[in-house]
Amino acid sequence: MKSTITNLYDYKSASIPEELRRWRIPDAEIQARLDTLSHNHSVETEPDTVEALDGVACKGESTVPRWNRPNLQFYPGRKLCSETMENALIGAKLGETRMVHTEEGNITLTVTRIVRRRHMPVGDALVQAEHIPGVSTLADFARWYRETNAPERQYNAKMRMAYYLLHQITDRSEYDINETEKKAHVSERVELIYQAYLKAGIDPTIPEEGTDFLTEEQAKEKMYRQFESTFPMAVASEYLVRTLDGIDDVDAFCQAGLEKLAADNHLTVEKLLQDNGIYVCQEQLLQNRALELLADHAEQYLEA
């Protein structure tokens, strides 16, 4: 790029917000995971007396057609149907018949089956049922869960800090912007988004408010003004890759990245650029590398 940073913001002295530095797994998250396992390992029994939340099968007899059926299902306490009918079944024994009086008419319900689903208690036996190597107690599970998830949480925290630093650098550095270069980059992005809108059935010439339609040129000018603020970040990203990574031949770096990206997506480089634009692809490759470099710097700020 001809555009460059003339005065880089001193990001190394930036104060990173505490919430971006956090990565440690709280006890509440582990408890929530144990509660999920408790639910997953629930067991069914068939008791002889109905309690709230049981599944109850009944034979229904009534002059009301929809209740005159050999197999009706109820879940007392869950309020899935008439509370009067659900409550009438609580305490009923297998084979017992109860009369329910409703606005529709009288209904006779005979209990034919009771199913009770109970969650496995949270305890050592629960985590043992997961068959995790080296885990036989709740304390083992908490340790294993933290150790297993720590790398991803640390990575995510580093990337959050990296994004923060990149935005700080973009907003607070000083630039020498080549307007011709800027127009080429932003115009390509506008054209890609404009065509994507059309393919999605969205007409950018239709105003969000009012009835004055825009011409295609006016619509693109409006989009240009919306997206021109993206260019400084592209300049900042390339500057960081050049200075922090010591890469002088940015074109060669981008070409290698494009070839890998195309191969990963089973495309040719030509097709990749046709669909996404050369400047947009290059900007993304450079931004990704800049974020990796800033993440390496930010690692020292992870919460202790």
Average pLDDT taken over every residue of the chain: 94
Q: What is the pLDDT of residue 208?
A: 79
Tens-digit pLDDT profile for residues 207-225: 877 778 999 999 999 999 9
- Whether pLDDT at 202 is above 90: yes
pLDDT at position 10? 96
Q: Is the dihedral of CA 176, 178, 181, 184 positive or negative?
A: positive
The pLDDT assigned to 126 comes to: 96
pLDDT at 212: 82
pLDDT digits (tens, 9 = 90+) for 63-91: 999 999 999 999 999 999 889 999 999 99
Residue 161 zone, left/alpha/beta (φ > 0; ψ -120 to 50; rest): alpha
Are the C-beta atoms of 141 and 147 separated by less than 8 Å?
Answer: no
Question: Which helix (H) or strand (E) segment is 109 a member of?
Answer: strand 105-118
Q: 3 and 186 in contact (C-beta within 8 Å)? A: no
Residues forming a β-bridge with 105: 102
The tens digit of pLDDT for each residue in 96-141 reads: 999 999 988 999 999 999 999 989 999 999 999 999 999 999 999 9
- Hey, how many other C-beta atoms are within 10 angstroms of the C-beta on 273? 17
Q: Considering only residues 138 and 248, tell me which one the structure prediction assigns the higher pLDDT.
A: 138
Report the distance separating Cα 273 and Cα 282, nearest Å. Answer: 10
Both tokens of 201, joined, read: 């059935």
What residue ranges define each of the domains in the chain, with the CATH number in brackets? Answer: 4-24+150-301 (1.10.3120), 43-118 (3.10.50.30)
pLDDT, tens digit, 9 for 90 and up, residues 251-304: 999 999 999 999 999 999 999 998 889 999 999 999 999 999 999 999 999 998
Q: Give me the pLDDT at residue 13, please.
A: 93
